[in-house]
Structure formats: C-alpha cells, structure tokens
Structure 1
Amino acid sequence: MAIQERVGTKRIVVGAHYGTFDFIVQRCTAVIMAIYTLVLFFGVLFTSGMSFEGWQNLFTFRIGVVPVGQLLATLAFFSLAWHAWIGVRDIWMDYVKPAGIRLLLQVLTVLWLVGSIVYFAKVLWSL
C-alpha cells in the first residue's frame, strides 16, 4: 500500500463525503418520526376504548378522499428506513474494515430495509 503524503498546504481528502447531506437527512427524518409519534400518542389518548377498530382507524382515517392516516404512516416508515440506513451504513463504514465484509453487510442491510418497506406497504395499504 502506497503511503500518501501532503502536497503543499492541501491535505489529502478521502472518503465518500456523505457528511452534511446525511446530517441534514437524519435530523429531518428524526423530526418527521417525532411528529408522527406525537400524532399516534394523541390518537391513542383521544380514542375511546382501544379496540381493533379504534387502532385500525389510527392508520386509515381520511379527510375527504385523501387517506391521511396511511400517507402519514408511509411517510413515517420511509423516514424510519432512511434514518436506519444512514445510521447502520455509518456503523459498517466506521467499524468493519475489510471491504468485502462491509459490502456484504451493507447489501444485507439494504435488502432487509427494502423487504421491510414492501411488507409494510402490503400490510398498511391492504387495510
């Protein structure tokens, strides 16, 4: 492996440069999940009797013809998946040094997240 050296006053920069964008995405997805958590909390708080129908109505309520409950849940779940991807990817990049194993773990993470999204969509949108 060749040793990298500084050239002049410029430093050698390596890496994928995900930093700022991922920082902003993680904060935005966290805010979306926090707001959705409050929506669910107040929905449970103000629903009389938590029967199956009451719980189902939290996810299927409509305003006019717009399925607001399903759209909010979908937005929150996509936010959760993106938030998880950034966090887990950073863990793999920071702590798993062999590139092949890191790639395998990242691919498995993506497959798991995509499978979770497909399953979520199948369950929620079939109500």
Structure 2
Amino acid sequence: MVKPIIVGAHYGFRDWLAQRITAVVMAIYTVVLAVAVLSSFDGSYESWRGVFSGGFMRFATFLFFMSLFFHAWIGVRDIFMDYIKPTGIRLTLHSVVALLLIGYAGWAAQILWRL
C-alpha cells in the first residue's frame, strides 16, 4: 500500500476561520475609527490625539494591529508552504516574517501607549 504524501499548508478549517475572524475584527475597527474620527475630528493634531486618548480606542487599535499581523502571518505562511519547496529557505522566510511581525506588534504597542 502506498501512503500519500501530503505537502503544503493543509491547515483547513482552523486557519480559514481565523482569517475570517481577523477580517471581521479589522472591518469593525475601520467602521469604529471612521465614526470616531468623523464625529470629533476638526483637522488638528489635538483632535487626532483626542481620538486615541481613551483606553477603548487604544485597545481597539491594538486589537486591530494584532488581528492584522495574525491575518498576515496565516496568509504568508500558507503561501510559503505552498510555493517555497526547499525546507531551509521556507524555514528562514517563516522566521524572518515571524520576527518582523512580533517586532511590529511591539512597535505598535509602544506607539499607542506613548501618546
């Protein structure tokens, strides 16, 4: 009996669902940000800063960025697993992208709580 070799991402439903959930979180944040900006924004730096001065908007923005980074990770990881066949190159690319996304998450946190 020949055992089939399974290659590629093949993570299935879990990753599909994570992609949809993160997309919904990002879409809801976009609407919330648009409402917040349009209701209290007059074009000045102080009003822009005022939108993000509350804890809710900082948390919502951080949640948006975490969703964005996780969404990007799943997509890029699946592309690498499907199209980059040499294991060493694929592992290197996975590592670089993971480290960049973790760094971006830290940078986003620093920016949001520095205001």
**Contact kept? 1:44, 1:50, Cα under 8 Å:** no
Structure 2-normalised TM-score? 0.90
Name the residue aligned to 1:72: 60
State, as a whole percentage, how many aligned pairs show the same letter. 46
**Cα separation, 2, equivalents of 1:14 and 1:26:** 22
**Cα separation, 2, equivalents of 1:124 and 1:99:** 37
**Cα separation, 2, equivalents of 1:92 and 1:17:** 12
Structure 1-normalised TM-score? 0.82
More helix by share: 2
**Cα separation, 1, equivalents of 2:113 and 2:31:** 22
Name the residue aligned to 1:113: 101
Structure 2 stretches lacking a partner, 5+ long: none
Name the residue aligned to 1:64: none
Please say which structure displays the higher CA radius of gyration: 1
Name the residue aligned to 2:43: 50
**Which amino acid is 2:98 matched to?**
V
**Cα separation, 2, equivalents of 1:85 and 1:50:** 34
Structure with bigger RCO (C-alpha 8 Å, 6+ apart): 2
What is the RMSD computed on CA atoms of the aligned residues? 1.7
